Amino acid sequence: MTEPSAEPAIVVRGLSKRYGGVTAVDGLDLEVRAGETLALLGPNGAGKTTTVECCEGYRSPDAGTVRVLGLDPRRDAAALRPRLGLMLQEGGVYPMARPMEVLRLFAAFHAAPLDPEALLERVGLNDARGTRFRDLSGGQKQRLSLALAVIGRPEVVFLDEPTAGLDPAARRLTWQHVSELRAGGVTVVLTTHLLDEAEHLADRVAIIDHGRLVALGTPDELTRSGHDELEFSARPGLDVAALGSELGADVRAVRPGWYALQAPNEPATVARLALWLERHDVRIGELRSGRRTLEDVFLRLTADDGGEVSAVGPRVAQRRARRRSRAVQEDLEVGS
């Protein structure tokens, strides 16, 4: 295992990128520690892909700086690219090429590559070694892309939707590969729309909205509410006013079948709640305390004040993103 460097693997400072009148990335600051797995989350159009492409050297920032392994991805591309691994969501392989041919070709580009035979077996493509790329299933193409990203023993790997189109078994196998990269000291930047994937794999999660960083922390930090609150599921339509009066606390319906109780997580509170439910013949489904799901956090930070994905103008959306960023930072400070 390679010992992680004390210096960050990736440092982004004041990154801005515009396409005509659209600001894709707006003064973004972000650091990725050496050897960590960072999940980059955000709705479509949030600026994730542009940020990653600036880190990979495929786009030039309009403002700000990007350093990967201490190098400028554009100016120092020749020195940096052999140290990076890139997994694209699709494309990049000649349609008539076969997996083993492609792996051997990519291995020839590196001074000390992984063994193509062993790697093909490891990603579960041994049976498809002679199949042309165009005839592979979507999941097989994803697994080949992952193999191509790691064959050169990279120090930093960018994975774009690595489990898109995979069945559950292949998805778990990919998760195992990503965990092995982390265990080997490789820095991984993972972009995904699968929040359970981010929660399972990432050391930290960065949420981007309208080109700005609105949250950064471990999955535990982001999902801990920092407030005295109990949540439980039961049948829809409970009399929350009566329940609140019984418990001496504010109770509200978060959504049909889910209720939030503003009260400390103490045995007496849970006991009174259970007694009220028993008297009203209500079965409880789940009971959670002081914690939100990552999905709850994501939707809160990337939706407008009405709870929908924002469709307002860019300046209004950016002001809202800044307000949400301050709000979640306050939550993290309370919960720490």
Same domain, 176 and 92: yes
Q: How confident is the model at residue 72 (pLDDT cuts 50, 70, 90)?
A: very high
Same domain, 73 and 198: yes
Q: How many CB atoms lie within 10 A of CB 184?
A: 12
322 falls within a domain: no
The pLDDT tens digits of the residues spanning 96-114 come to 999 999 999 999 999 999 9
Same domain, 87 and 182: yes
Instruction: Provide the pLDDT for residue 316.
Output: 41
Average the pLDDT over 169-198 and give the result.
Answer: 93
What is the token pair recorded at 96? 């008539």
Same domain, 245 and 182: no
Instruction: Provide the pLDDT for residue 20.
Output: 93
Q: How confident is the model at residue 260 (pLDDT cuts 50, 70, 90)?
A: confident
Instruction: Identify the bridge partners of residue 209 per DSSP, sorted by sequence position.
Output: 212
Q: How many CB atoms lie within 10 A of CB 180?
A: 12
SS3 state of residue 228: coil
Same domain, 192 and 240: no
CA atoms lying within 13 Å on the CB side of residue 115: 4
Give the domain CATH number at 250. 3.30.70
CA–chain centroid gap for 228, Å, is: 27
Q: Which of 97-111, 173-187, 270-284, 315-329 has the lowest mean pLDDT?
A: 315-329
191 falls within a domain: yes
Instruction: Provide the pLDDT for residue 28.
Output: 97
Instruction: Provide the pLDDT for residue 334.
Output: 41
324 falls within a domain: no
Give the domain CATH number at 205. 3.40.50.300
333 falls within a domain: no
Give the residue from 177, 195, 221 where a domain finishes.
221
Instruction: Identify the bridge partners of residue 22 per DSSP, sorted by sequence position.
Output: 19
Same domain, 39 and 134: yes
What is the token pair recorded at 281? 């013949």
Length of the chain: 336
Same domain, 247 and 213: no
Full residue range of the structural domain in which residue 45 is found: 10-221
SS3 state of residue 210: coil
Same domain, 40 and 157: yes
**How many structural domains does the chain have?**
2
Q: How many CB atoms lie within 10 A of CB 72?
A: 14
The pLDDT tens digits of the residues spanning 8-49 come to 999 999 999 999 999 999 999 999 999 999 999 999 999 999
SS3 state of residue 215: strand
C-alpha separations of 78 from 65, 69, 71, 82, 159 in Å? 18, 13, 10, 8, 21
The pLDDT tens digits of the residues spanning 270-300 come to 999 999 999 999 999 998 876 677 888 898 8
- Answer whether residue 90 shows pLDDT above 80: no
Q: What is the pLDDT of the chain when averaged over all its residues? A: 87
SS3 state of residue 47: coil
pTM: 0.76
